[in-house]
């Protein structure tokens, strides 16, 4: 049994709508339904009467609401106590969920800028893929989310619960190592992210725009790490769509060349409004003082 199943059920007990709760929990409706069903299987009972609209709770469902609320309350309190214990060190702490590539290219410089305003601080960082990072923010485990944004791929969070700031800009750029050979039809091998990944969706949009080279699928990286595709591109295995901030040095040295028009992206910082404390308020205010520009192409 997973805690998120219980939190899903509590959301559903309030909204009485699978679609609305799935939206609030930042998952697809089908995935949300599977999680609710998994909870029912684990409990060995039916919690919902799905024949009504809006849905209603069964007698067991109404009984389980009290148990679920108490479980979530106790676990949340324990987590808060443990985190507060860690934050009683001599340095204030901020927790950040961030995309892998941003942890390498942007986060260190951004933290340096914040420390220049606020002084020494500690940080706890979760480097992971987009979905895990969004989940970490929404479920209240982290103060901030650092991610890319493009209008073509909306970020599924409630703007009132999770306001954002633009702290910089970057671009998605198609790069290839010199000497990469096309096939008999003039197509270049394409290095791909896993299906449904955030950068993969952006890469597909960029690849469909005018000016992109003709390609054929040659390699898919299932963990969707841009750094892994960068290594493959440097090894002359194909064209990779990567954040320019991640490959600026290689482009400058000639190890990689740009083979397509770039697609601009924002670098956004999201905050969990439910995690309010004085130091986090100061970090949020400091993030608005300046907008570092990481873009190398307009």
Q: Where are the alpha helices (DSSP H) in 119-219?
A: 130-138, 198-208
pLDDT at 292 over 80: no
Instruction: Judge whether 219 and 191 are in contact, CB under 8 Å.
Output: yes
Measure Cα distances from 271 to 4, 8, 46, 176, 242 in Å: 20, 21, 36, 36, 26
Q: Could you tell me if residue 209 is inside a domain?
A: yes
pLDDT at 295 over 60: no
CATH code of 122's domain: 3.40.190.10
* Residue 115 CB-half CA count within 13 A: 14
pLDDT at 216 over 70: yes
> How many separate domains does the chain show?
3
Domain stop point among 69, 85, 101: 85
Summary mean pLDDT of the chain: 87
Q: Could you tell me if residue 38 is inside a domain?
A: yes
pLDDT at 81: 64
At 49-96, the pLDDT tens digits run 888 788 899 999 899 988 888 888 788 777 766 666 555 557 888 999
CATH code of 13's domain: 1.10.10.10
pLDDT at 297 over 50: no
Residues 279 and 151 in one domain: yes
> At a CB cut-off of 8 Å and minimum separation 6, what does 212 contact?
174, 206, 260, 261
Residues 115 and 134 in one domain: yes
pLDDT at 46 over 80: yes
At 170-189, the pLDDT tens digits run 999 999 999 999 999 999 99
CA distance 287 to 298: 23
Q: Specify which residues 117 forms β-bridges with.
A: none
Q: Could you tell me if residue 255 is inside a domain?
A: yes
Instruction: Judge whether 113 and 106 are in contact, CB under 8 Å.
Output: no
> At a CB cut-off of 8 Å and minimum separation 6, what does 115 contact?
121
pTM of the model: 0.70
| Domain interval for residue 100 | 90-168+266-287
Dig out the tokens for 52 from the structure: 């009504």
At 11-37, the pLDDT tens digits run 999 898 888 888 888 888 888 899 999
> What distance lies between CA 210 and its chain's CA centroid?
28
pLDDT at 293: 45
């Amino acid at each position: 049994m997973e805690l998120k199943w219980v939190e899903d059920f509590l959301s559903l007990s309030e909204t009485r709508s699978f679609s609305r709760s799935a939206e609030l929990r930042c998952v697809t409706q089908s995935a949300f339904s599977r999680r609710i069903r998994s909870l029912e299987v684990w409990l060995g009972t039916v919690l919902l009467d799905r024949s009504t609209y809006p849905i209603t709770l069964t007698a067991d469902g109404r009984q389980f609401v009290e148990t679920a609320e108490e479980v979530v309350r106790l676990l949340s309190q324990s987590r808060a106590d443990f985190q507060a214990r860690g934050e009683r060190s001599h340095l204030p702490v901020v927790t950040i969920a961030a995309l892998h590539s941003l942890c390498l290219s942007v986060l260190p410089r951004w933290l340096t800028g914040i420390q220049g305003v606020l002084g020494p601080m500690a940080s706890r960082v979760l480097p992971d893929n987009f979905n895990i990072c969004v989940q970490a923010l929404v479920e209240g485990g982290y103060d901030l989310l650092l991610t890319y944004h493009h209008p073509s791929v909306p970020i599924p969070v409630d703007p009132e619960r999770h306001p954002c700031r633009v702290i910089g800009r970057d671009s998605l750029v198609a790069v290839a190592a010199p000497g990469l050979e096309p096939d008999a039809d003039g197509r270049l091998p394409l290095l791909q992210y896993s299906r449904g990944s955030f950068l993969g969706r952006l890469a597909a949009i960029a690849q469909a725009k005018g000016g992109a080279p003709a390609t054929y699928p040659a390699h898919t990286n299932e963990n969707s790490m841009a750094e892994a595709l960068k290594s493959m591109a440097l090894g002359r295995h194909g064209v990779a769509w990567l954040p320019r901030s991640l490959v600026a040095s290689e482009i400058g040295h000639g190890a990689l060349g740009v083979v397509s028009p770039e697609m601009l992206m924002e670098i956004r910082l999201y905050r969990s409004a439910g995690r309010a404390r004085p130091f986090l308020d100061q970090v949020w205010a400091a993030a608005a003082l300046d907008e570092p520009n990481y873009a190398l192409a307009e």
